[in-house]
Structure 1
Amino acid sequence: MITLLSAPSNLGLRPPEQGSVPGAAKAPEALREAGLFARFAELGASDSGVVLAGRYVDDDGRRPSDRVRNESAVVDHSQRLAARIGRALDDGDAPLVIGGDCGIILGAGVATASRGGVGLVHVDGHTDFRHPGNSDECGAVAGEALAAAVGLHQPAIADINGLAPYFSADRTAHIGHRDDDEDLQEVRALLGRVTSAADVLARGGAATAAESAAVAGPAYWLQVDVDVLDPAVMPAVDSPDPGGVGAADLTALLRELAPRAVGASITVFDPDLDPEGRYARLLVDVLTEGLSELGTGVHA
Structure 2
Amino acid sequence: MITSDWFLLGAPWDCSGSGRGEQAAPAALRAAGLSGMVGRDSGDAACSIDGAGRDAATGVLALPETLRAAHALSEAVERALRDRPGLRPLVVGGDCSILLGIVPALRRAVGEIGLWFVDGHPDYSDGPGSETGETADMELAVLTGAGAEPLVSLAGVVPMVPTESVVMLGHRTSGLDAASARELARVPETLQRIDAAAVAVDPADAGRRAASWVPDRRMWLHVDVDVLDGEVLPAVSYPQPGGLDWDQLAAVMEPLARSPRLLGVSVADFRPDLDPAGDHAARLIALLEHVLP
TM-score w.r.t. structure 1 length?
0.87
Listed one character per residue, the Cα deviations across residues 215-263 of structure 1 (whole Å, up to 9, x for unaligned) are: 2335111111000001121000000000000101111222211133201
Counting only pairs closer than 5 Å after superposition, residues 120-135 of structure 1 correspond to structure 2 as 120-131=115-126, 135=129
**Number of residue equivalences:** 277
CA contact (8 A) 1:227 1:237 kept: yes
CA distance in 2, matches of 1:67, 1:171: 27
Listed one character per residue, the Cα deviations across residues 26-46 of structure 1 (whole Å, up to 9, x for unaligned) are: 0011111111222x23xxx21
Flag structure 2 segments of 5+ consecutive residues without an equivalent.
Answer: none
Which residue is equivalent to 1:9? Answer: 13
Q: Secondary structure at the residue paired with 2:186?
A: helix
Q: Secondary structure at the residue paired with 1:221?
A: strand
CA distance in 2, matches of 1:87, 1:248: 35
Question: What is the Cα deviation at residue 14 of structure 1?
Answer: 7.0
Match among 89, 97, 104 for residue 98 of structure 2: 104
CA contact (8 A) 2:107 2:155 kept: no
Counting only pairs closer than 5 Å after superposition, residues 56-95 of structure 1 correspond to structure 2 as 56-60=50-54, 63-90=55-82, 91-95=85-89
Counterpart of 2:11, as a letter, is: A
The more displaced of 109-118 and 94-103 is: 109-118
Q: Secondary structure at the residue paired with 1:4?
A: strand
* Runs of 4+ deviating beyond 6 Å: none
Counting only pairs closer than 5 Å after superposition, residues 1-300 of structure 1 correspond to structure 2 as 1-10=5-14, 12-13=15-16, 15=18, 21-38=19-36, 40-41=37-38, 45-60=39-54, 63-90=55-82, 91-114=85-108, 115-131=110-126, 135=129, 137=131, 139-179=133-173, 180=176, 181-182=180-181, 183-187=183-187, 189-191=189-191, 193-204=192-203, 206-217=204-215, 218-259=217-258, 260-291=261-292, 293=293
Over the aligned positions, Cα root-mean-square deviation in angstroms equals 1.9
Question: What is the Cα deviation at residue 7 of structure 1?
Answer: 0.5
Task: Go from structure 1 to structure 2 and tell me whether the alpha carbon gap of 1:240 and 1:94 turns closer, same or farther (over 3 Å shift).
Answer: same
Task: Go from structure 1 to structure 2 and tell me whether the alpha carbon gap of 1:55 and 1:146 turns closer, same or farther (over 3 Å shift).
Answer: closer
Counterpart of 2:237, as a letter, is: D
CA distance in 1, matches of 2:277, 2:70: 31
Flag structure 1 segments of 5+ consecutive residues without an equivalent.
Answer: 16-20, 294-300
Listed one character per residue, the Cα deviations across residues 158-208 of structure 1 (whole Å, up to 9, x for unaligned) are: 1114222111110100001111342323325131x111111111122x211
CA distance in 2, matches of 1:156, 1:200: 35
Instruction: Give me the identity figure in percent.
Output: 34
TM-score w.r.t. structure 2 length?
0.89
Question: What is the Cα deviation at residue 48 of structure 1?
Answer: 1.1
